[in-house]
Amino acid sequence: MSKVFVSYKAEDRRRIEPLVRALQADGYSVWWDQHIGTGDEWRQTIERELDSAKCVLVVWSKRSVGPDGNFVRDEASRAQKRRVYVPVLIDAVNPPLGFGESQAASLRGWKGDRSDPNYQAVLSGVRRIAGAGTQPKSRDADQVPVSRRAVVATGAMTAVAIAGAGGWVLLKPSRSSGAQSIAVLPFANLSGDPGQAYFSDGIAEELRNALARLAGLKVVGRTSSEAVRDEDAATAAKKLGVANILTGSVRQSPSTIRISAQLVDGGNGIEKWSENYDRAPGDAIKIQTDIAEKVATALSATLGAAARTAVTIGGTQNADAQRLVIQSGAIVDNSFSKESVEHGLLLLDKAIQIDPNYAAAYARKAALTIAYGNRFSEDALQLAQTRADAARLASTAVGIAPDFPEAHFALATIYSSNLQVAAGYREIKRAIQLAPGNAFMLTRYANFAGGIGHGDEALRAVNKAIALDPLNKAAYNERLRVLYRARRYGDVAEFAENLKRQAPQMFDAPEPVGNALVMLKRYREAQAYYSQMAPDFWARLTGEAVILARMGDREGAERKVDALQRANGDAASYQYGEIYAQLGDFDRAFENLDHGFEIKDAGLFGLKVDGLVDPIRSDPRFAALLRKMNFPS
């Protein structure tokens, strides 16, 4: 029998999780509707657990005291009759009439600290009614399941630690976008099966991507949205610099899917729009489309035929196919191993078999195929084959949905891998035109623009990516690369020091900083950055070889080349070219660079702007190599 029943409004679920974890850590068995199993009769299960609980902790919030809080009031009434009622406030509200006689403890702004006096007051009320808890469990025991996306999203977990202090704000998010700015937080999984979390998270990601295609909307990226998943709307909005928060939940059974969505004003926490959808499981896609359209309308975005198309483009009307695509992404996100990627590709194949016109499935399979080839190919022939397969898949996606941004983005990745620079630039620019609010694409676009010498354009793109995804360290580190490629070496060093001082968890790119310091002839400082990498890492060996070459130690530089060769073989052809350029051995430099072009070494992508190859720029062979790569003007 459960000792403590927690009554709350389902839309407040992520705000309740710290309280549940704390009570469990203090030895209580806690029942909340996260425990409803698939196929259970929801009302009967809740009624049984409510009537058998020794203590009912009722959480009053803006939602639960509002017109849609009838279930919470009903549960509170039963608890009062049984004299097991313990009220808690998480917002600045008064309990409804009839529930204010008992003093309510306030947990407004509480983040889970069990030593906090306010939590201790709640715990005292629970102990008074339910008795003492059993021996407290270990910190890891019986924890609330955490979504795999929250764990693996780049920088998400480290971002949470610094977001509270606001130290990450080097390019401060602002609300300059006004009412047309939004963060889509991960939807809560209320299905009772932690294994279904990928689907509720996936629905939020589908909505995020759809809204990012609408010109005029500022849509926060995935990493930052997931980093604040446990915050209330006002706190999340403040940290992300947006005016609106979209939150929701998903509950599934074999016969029904319930999706709830709420659009909340980030300034005052007041609900602007909400809707509950109780449908057959196959209607999930229609529900997503309806939510996206209504949210955009509520934010005053123009939703003509073109915008409605942007919401649904590239998708499918088959719920099983969509579920397979979402599941594929979850598996690969959780572990990028050879086996997991192969499993993800198999699921995408099944989705395409179900719906041969599912452009998103083709585009995602293309992107995953190129990643698989680049990471796991055993030889040049296999690598070439995976790239050819990926190109075919991406072209199919474009053929099905010519204006689907993810398809053009996949093509850009393939072209750049093959050192077809102009074609890649054309495709990635098209992707950004079609999805101007996609932070991930903007970060990659900044990398591309910087590599072809469009430094100002690259800096604008990466600054926008940071504004859209301010808790994602990938964008901050890309900014260092953009500054390096723009030859703003002093700015690289300054930005790195600011980042390390204000938000050290966000810094993860010592290579461009070391290279910039080399160009500034600050070799001791450069070595300090190179030393942050593993001793046999290619970037460290290359940087150290360049320092030795510049200091006249040819023998030492050659030893670094030997170590680089042992660790990387031909894959470091571009780096050998950099080192020999610094050593003044132009013939060996071009020998390695030409070989790099033959095997499509991705390092050559930076050839046009890399300061480390400056010694060979005046050689006619350099211009010839640039022409072969067909850099755009």
Report the mean per-residue pLDDT for the chain: 85
Residues β-bridged to residue 182? 219, 244
Dihedral sign of CA atoms 189, 190, 193, 199 in order: negative
Calculate mean pLDDT across residues 163-180: 46
Mean pLDDT of 138-157: 33
Q: What is the pLDDT of residues 421-439, one digit of tens each?
A: 999 999 999 999 999 989 9
For residue 423, count other CB atoms closer than 10 A to its CB.
Answer: 16
What average pLDDT does the segment 218-230 reach?
A: 88
4-14: average pLDDT: 85
Which band of pLDDT confidence, cut at 50, 70 and 90, is reported for residue 461? very high
Residue 466 in domain:
no
SS (H, E, C) 240-257: HCCCEEEEEEEEECCCCE
Which of 121-135, 252-266, 393-407: highest mean pLDDT?
393-407
Q: How many helices (H) and strands (E) does the chain have?
A: 28, 11
One-letter amino acid for residue 154 of the chain: T
Categorize the per-residue pLDDT at 163 as very low, low, confident or very high, splitting at 50, 70 and 90. Answer: very low
Distances in Å between the alpha carbon of 560 and those of 384, 510, 565?
A: 30, 18, 9
Helix, strand, coil shares, percent, the chain, to 5? 60, 10, 30
25 in the same domain as 57: yes
pLDDT at 595: 94
- Specify the pLDDT at position 157: 31
- Say whether pLDDT at 574 is over 90: yes
Looking at the structure, tell me whether residues 167 and 271 fall in a common domain.
yes
Residue 326 belongs to domain with CATH number: 1.25.40.10
pLDDT tens across 54-106, in order?
999 999 998 888 887 888 988 999 998 888 999 999 988 888 887 866 778 88
153 and 119 housed in the same domain: no
Choice between 27 and 511, residue whose per-residue pLDDT is larger: 511
Mean pLDDT of 337-348: 94
CATH of the domain at 532: 1.25.40
Last residue of a domain, one of 268, 292, 311: 311
pLDDT of residue 308: 65
Residue 596 lies in a domain: yes
Task: Kindly report the CATH number assigned to the domain that includes residue 101.
Answer: 3.40.50.10140
3-state secondary structure of 251: strand
Evaluate if residue 579 carries a pLDDT over 80. yes
Q: Which of 311, 334, 359 is the last residue of a domain?
A: 311
Residue 185 maps to which CATH number?
A: 3.40.50.10070
Mean pLDDT (whole number) for 291-311: 70
Cβ contacts of 410 within 8 Å, gap of 6 or more: 363, 364, 366, 367, 370, 390, 393, 394, 397
Give me the domain span that covers residue 397.
314-436
Do 189 and 228 share a structural domain?
yes
pTM of the model: 0.72
What is the per-residue pLDDT for 167?
A: 32
User: How many Å apart are CA 210 and CA 263, to the nearest integer?
Assistant: 16
Q: Is residue 455 part of a domain?
A: no
What are the structure tokens assigned to 187, written together? 């939807």
Are 15 and 264 spatial neighbours (Cβ–Cβ below 8 Å)?
no
Looking at residue 34, its pLDDT comes to 61
Say how far apart CA 428 and CA 238 lie, in whole Å: 31
Domain membership flag for residue 24:
yes
pLDDT for residue 206? 86
Pairing of strands 30-31, 257-265: unpaired
pLDDT surpassing 70 at residue 35: no
Q: Which of 21-25, 73-77, 523-527, 565-569 has the highest mean pLDDT?
A: 523-527
- Confidence category of residue 274, pLDDT binned at 50, 70, 90: confident
Number of domains in the chain: 4
In this prediction, what percent of the chain has a pLDDT beyond 70? 88
User: Per-residue pLDDT for 158 more than 50?
Assistant: no
Judge if 175 and 245 occupy the same domain.
yes
Residues 24 and 104 in one domain: yes
Q: Tell me, what's the pLDDT at 36?
A: 53
Inter-residue contact 225 to 184 (CB < 8 Å): yes
Q: Which residues does 4 contact at the CB level (< 8 Å), separation at least 6? A: 23, 28, 29, 30, 31, 53, 54, 55, 56, 57, 126, 130
In a domain, 326, yes or no: yes
Q: What is the mean pLDDT of residues 383-395?
A: 93
pLDDT of residue 539: 94
> Which of 130, 161, 176 corresponds to the end of one domain?
130
Q: Per the domain annotation, does 490 fall within a domain? A: no
Q: How far apart are CA 542 and CA 561, in angstroms?
A: 8
pLDDT of residue 564: 94
Residue 283 sits in the same domain as residue 428: no
pLDDT at 159 over 70: no
> Residues 184, 244: contact at Cβ < 8 Å?
no
573 is written with which tokens?
Answer: 């052809």
